[in-house]
Amino acid sequence: MQEGYVVDPGLVLLAFNVLAVWPLARICRRAGFAPGWALLIFVPWIGVILVAGMLTFRRWPSLQPLPPQARKERRTA
């Protein structure tokens, strides 16, 4: 039997999630959401989909609506 270094995929996923929580919490905070939403990433597959969906499809409370721009008059010859 060949002795080799075998990495458990669950450990790789856990390491990725641990490294991703802090940046994801900062993104949530800047978007106006509670940074605790970043902890959902620890729920396998569903957590990543929920956090990505929340950041993609929900309106970000920290974004202010842009004021309407004044229309320029058309120049005619």
**Per-residue model confidence (pLDDT) at position 9:** 85
For residues 18-23, average pLDDT: 93
In a domain? residue 19 = yes
Verdict on whether the full-model pTM lies above 0.95:
no
User: In terms of Cα–Cα distance, which of 9, 19, 74, 61 is closest to 42?
Assistant: 19
Mean pLDDT, the chain, whole residue set: 85
| CA distance to 27, 56, 58, 65, 72, per residue, from 21 (Å) | 10, 17, 20, 29, 46
For residues 14-33, average pLDDT: 92
In a domain? residue 65 = no
Q: Read off the pLDDT band of 7 (50, 70, 90).
A: confident
Domain that holds residue 43: 9-57
In a domain? residue 47 = yes
Q: Are 35 and 26 in contact (CB under 8 A)?
A: yes
**Per-residue model confidence (pLDDT) at position 60:** 83
In a domain? residue 36 = yes
The tally of domains found in the chain comes to: 1
